[in-house]
Structure 1
Amino acid sequence: MRLAAAHPRMTPAPGFRTVALIIASAMFMEQLDGTILATALPAMAESFGVSPLHMSVALTSYMLSLAVFIPASGAIADRYGSRNVFRAAIALFTLGSILCGVSGNLPLLVLSRLLQGIGGAMMVPVGRLVLLRSVPKSELVSAMSWLLVPALIGPVVGPPLGGFIVTWVSWRWIFYINVPIGVAGIWLASKYIPDVRLPDKVRFDTLGFVLSGVSLSCLVFGLEMVSHGASSVAGSTVLIVVGLVVGALYVAHARRVEHPILDLSLMRFTTFRLSVIAGSLTRITAGAMPFLLPLMMQLGFGLSAAHSGVVTFVSALGAMLMKATAAPVLRLWGFRATLVWNGVLSMLCVALCAAFRPDWPLWTIYTVLLLSGFFQSLQFSAYNTVAYADVPSERFSSATSFYTTFQQLMLSLGICVAAAALHASVSWHGREHAQLPDFSAAFLVVTLISLIAAPVCARLPRNAGAEMSGHRAR
């Protein structure tokens, strides 16, 4: 099925719920992989003979690959068809998983994670693009809920499953379990995903792709090196400065071309701009949580990988419980009030994690994590929806690429900020290994950064996204 350039929205034959569930299966595989990996980091570090703090590169290398290749996802899907790109992305992700499982050292694992990231860079954004073009804006909140609920099963299942695998089998099987999911995903995509593409092929912005890739690579790796002290300050500074300079060159380039790989003119839409800025600040905490919490439970509390997985999965369970309430909450309060006050509540819950100690009753820890997952999930559902409130449908492709690029970059930055705060606290106190006070400091640092999002959200119009939420401001 081809999509006319003048009418980019289409209705797939199986219905948007079926398409959403198939796309969610790909997101399930990606989220399952990420949450299992976070739980297994200490065991993998022991296998490779490196410090657990250095294992953050296994997470950031994947996110780096996402940040570099996501900008091209929309243009590639428009040119070669969403079904072809989606299937190829799942195949690449599955192949990368196999290579991760057979890796014998940290450098090989990082290279395999980069290949996984190329698949992930095309898999989720292209799926989201198909969904955006399949439903009217009035049904987008419901559609996003259908998309995200099955995907959230990954974080729910991931920590306890990862703990079980690491404790009783081998950490390598956390990657091998992606293989049957990937094969099933390729078959389902071939059968049900519509072949959405634009007949008017736009010239690919090769120079912009290179500039954005170099800039993002230097920034992420520079921050990663700073975060765990793996190199001199001078070397890290050079990378960050090069990233900023090349980024400035890209901005100048983007203003001269008609179809840049990252369309900066989208920031003229108020809801899109504020969602990008506030969402980026909030995602620093979202990126830090899966890195800090399992390490805190294992290194600070002395729990096994299996036990820490059971504890940390509760926040994902809270996210699951939220999905039934997203639509009525947004209909009652609207996007602006929800994003402001819910954002403050979610960050307060994260700040409480800094106070966790082994003598706390388990039910209090579970309660805090459950509420944290609930409020954070509502926050991101609202961000992901209101971003497209004012964007014309013919620009959904470039908007999805732009938004997802910054989303993944800030998740990566969250890991770097958390690791840097952890390392700084360890060094400041002259410790050899991270202890509970060091984790507390890291939680508070990322929380303070993300709290800045609240006044940004307050600048949204009262009726922002009213067509999506059904809210009518007085």
Structure 2
Amino acid sequence: MRPSSLLDDRTARLLPWLVAVAFFMQTLDGTILNTALPAMAIDLAEDPLRMQGVIIAYMLTVALLIPASGWIADRFGTRRVFFSAILLFTFGSLLCALSMTLPQLIGARVLQAVGGALMMPVGRLVVLRAYPRSELVRVMSLITLPGLVGPLLGPTLGGWLVEYASWHWIFLINLPVGALGCYAALRFMPDLRGPERNHFDTLGFVLFGAAMLMITLGLGGLGELHMPHARVMLLLFAGAACLAAYWLRAGRIAKPLFSPNLFRTRSFSVGILGNLFGRLGSGALPFMVPLLLQVALGYSPAEAGMSMIPLALAAMAIKPFAKLLIDRLGYRRVLTTNTLLLGLLIGSLGFTNAQTPLFMLLIQLGLIGAINSLQFTAMNTITLIGLHDREASSGNSLLAVVVQLAMSLGVATAGALLGGFTLEGAAPGSEAVLRAFQLTFLCVGGISMLASTIFLQLGREDGRAPPQP
């Protein structure tokens, strides 16, 4: 691999592996936790159906901080920020393992997410600046490969650790990897900064972040937090007001956090809205499926974790065919049809019960994994493909925020529905709990299918031609 003038030969060889390990830590953590939620709930004396805050806290914190990651790296230097990100992620993992109550665990997850929010954006930024464009595809492929392995190992490893050790080990395994990452960051991470000090839209950041926080808390208030409906409505309306204030302000200042001009590109507008609503169902799946298997159907943690393997394997297997399908059928047809199929498959989990054969459930999850993977590839590409070079960075940041926000909203929505359908005092494994899961999957599947109407707004040739200068 030919290094740029910024790197010596050894650093050029090792830097991609450093960023790849950070990516692996983040993606593994995002999937290993879900299988452990029931065991964690028992240990913390909580209801297993009210544990979604542990997931939402992480996703929402990452979404909040992604817009500031580039500015922070330019201001303080990539080496210091990347080292601090790994250190915070590792220290947050230790605090998660030491948590004695659910609020303590959620607080530790927020600290862990602060590190996670900076690791990958700063890592990608360093690669973008340090390597010539001719090497970029090769380096990015190496970096993203562990991101495919993490979801494959996570549920299975989480299930085995919970069953044969304890849930604390899903966080403790981050400690030696984090210590090695901190050493490598100080040794091999170049200290790069932006060419000039850029202005950061602080007020826009506060308004946008407040909107995301209040809307997500409002949805969570319907489920896990048991808020009065008046308080939930107040949070939702306040969040909508902050979002409206942000966009009105962004339209009249020179350098907003995210420019409204991005939405003049139809494919970007459709892609962002499609990602927001189309990912609600897929965002809920990693939270809902392990709970269904363990709390409603009586699977062990290890069995529940291994049942998720077909989903990850099918997602990896479909990747090589995604471009071929999109080139042949076009984005409009692929996304509209695929979104309907995804919603139907998620809804089909609503018919799962104790008599459902395991092989049938594994086939369902495998199909969901394949359709989901194709969906992500097509949605991400159509969102960015029509942007000019000068808009690509801002558009990519907004897409990253929307992806995290949609997944946290998916978990919050599923949690609210599950809490609403669960009868007071229903015991795990009872018919009432299974019925609540079935109704929740049917509703989430229906919501996912509605997102297909967004992709109908694409033109037949959108995504096939480069953006006009």
With the length of structure 2 as denominator, give the TM-score of the two structures: 0.88
Q: Structure 1 residue 450 and structure 2 residue 427: aligned?
A: no
Contact persistence 1:226–1:236 (CA under 8 A) = yes
**Structure 2 counterpart of 1:422:** 418
**Structure 1 counterpart of 2:303:** 307
Contact persistence 1:17–1:146 (CA under 8 A) = no
Contact persistence 1:208–1:254 (CA under 8 A) = yes
Structure 2 segments unaligned to the other structure (5+ residues) = none
Residue 100 of structure 1, aligned match among 96, 101, 121: 96
1:162 partner amino acid: G
Shift of residue 236, structure 1, vs aligned partner:
2.1
Contact persistence 1:75–1:397 (CA under 8 A) = no
Shift of residue 176, structure 1, vs aligned partner:
1.1
Residue 222 of structure 1, aligned match among 218, 221, 231: 218
Could you list the per-position Cα deviations for residues 294-351 of structure 1 after superposition, in whole angstroms to 9, with x for gaps in the alignment? 0100011111111111112321121122223233333333333322223322332222
Contact persistence 2:62–2:404 (CA under 8 A) = yes
Shift of residue 194, structure 1, vs aligned partner:
6.1
1:401 partner amino acid: S
Distance 1:215 1:363 in 2: 43
Between stretches 335-344 and 446-455, larger displacement belongs to 335-344
Residue 54 of structure 1, aligned match among 29, 50, 53: 50
Task: Call closer, same or farther: CA 1:187–1:60 in 2, change over 3 Å.
Answer: same
Structure 2 matches for 1:2-401, cutoff 5 A? 22-129=18-125, 147-186=143-182, 197-228=193-224, 230-401=226-397
Contact persistence 1:125–1:400 (CA under 8 A) = no
Shift of residue 186, structure 1, vs aligned partner:
4.3
Contact persistence 1:21–1:150 (CA under 8 A) = no
Contact persistence 1:83–1:190 (CA under 8 A) = yes
Distance 2:260 2:145 in 1: 31
Contact persistence 2:204–2:246 (CA under 8 A) = yes
Distance 1:285 1:158 in 2: 20
Contact persistence 2:343–2:447 (CA under 8 A) = no
Partner of 1:228, secondary structure, is coil
Q: How many residues align?
A: 458
Could you list the per-position Cα deviations for residues 372-403 of structure 1 after superposition, in whole angstroms to 9, with x for gaps in the alignment? 11110121122222322122333333222211
Contact persistence 2:343–2:444 (CA under 8 A) = no
Contact persistence 2:341–2:371 (CA under 8 A) = yes
Shift of residue 164, structure 1, vs aligned partner:
0.9
Distance 1:380 1:209 in 2: 26
**Structure 2 counterpart of 1:466:** 464
Shift of residue 110, structure 1, vs aligned partner:
0.8
Residue 433 of structure 2, aligned match among 431, 435, 445: 435
Distance 1:284 1:12 in 2: 41
Query: What's the C-alpha RMSD, in Å, of the aligned pairs?
Result: 3.0
Distance 2:375 2:404 in 1: 16
2:460 partner amino acid: R
Distance 2:285 2:308 in 1: 10
Partner of 1:387, secondary structure, is helix
Distance 2:128 2:442 in 1: 36
Contact persistence 2:427–2:433 (CA under 8 A) = no
Contact persistence 1:288–1:415 (CA under 8 A) = yes
Distance 1:83 1:328 in 2: 39
Structure 1 segments unaligned to the other structure (5+ residues) = 1-8, 469-474
Between stretches 321-330 and 148-157, larger displacement belongs to 321-330
